[in-house]
Amino acid sequence: MAVHALNGLWGTLSLGFFACGQYSAAGSNPAGIPDTVNTASPLYNVPLTGLFYGGGWKVVEAQCIGILCIHGATFLVALLVFWVLNMFGRLRISTEGELEGLDLHEHGSPLIPSMSSRLWRRPVAPARISSVIGPQWR
């Protein structure tokens, strides 16, 4: 989530800083009032520029409003989805699944097969030295 949220935030905000005016949306103009009808108007389809290209704070402000709207709506929808999942008991895994480990419980195999035997099983001593080590290794 952090990668998508932060990169999306930066990508949206950077347009307010670096918009060079080469591409323009239909009806966009520096006054913020779309004029898609009157093609003779001096404000018809004027390309918007970002802060670093002399456009001022207008595009940065619009991008910040967009960020707040999108992130707020996403947060509220996610909150609702997790609340419903929690109501039906589907948000958490069972206690047995937590103790066993999610890889084994959900997928039926460990993440790294060679490591699972070393981490969860008692070590087995070789047969030729087991009598020297003691009965705890048998």
With the C-alpha atoms ordered 116, 117, 122, 125, is the resulting torsion angle positive or negative? negative
Considering the domain architecture, whether residues 65 and 116 belong to the same structural domain is answered as no
- Whether residues 14 and 63 share a domain: the answer is yes
Distance CA 15, CA 52 (A): 10
User: Looking at the 3D structure of the chain, how many domains does it have?
Assistant: 2
Which range marks the domain in which residue 114 is found? 96-137
Cβ atoms within 10 Å, residue 8: 14
Distance CA 63, CA 54 (A): 16
User: Are both 28 and 81 inside the same structural domain?
Assistant: yes
The length of the chain, given as a count of residues: 138
Residue 43 and residue 22 share a domain: yes
Question: Are residues 24 and 43 both part of a single domain?
Answer: yes
How would you write the pLDDT of the chain (138 residues) with one tens digit per residue?
568 889 999 999 999 999 888 776 655 555 655 555 666 666 666 678 889 999 889 889 999 999 999 999 999 999 999 999 999 988 888 888 888 888 888 888 777 766 555 455 554 445 554 455 555 544
Domain co-membership, 129 together with 81: no
Reduced to 3 states, what is the DSSP secondary structure of residue 35?
Answer: coil
* 130 alpha-carbon distance from chain centroid: 52
Per residue in 90-116, pLDDT tens?
888 888 888 888 888 888 877 776 655
Of 133, 22, 111, 7, whose CA–CA distance to 67 is shortest?
Answer: 7
Q: Token pair of 25, please?
A: 């949306």
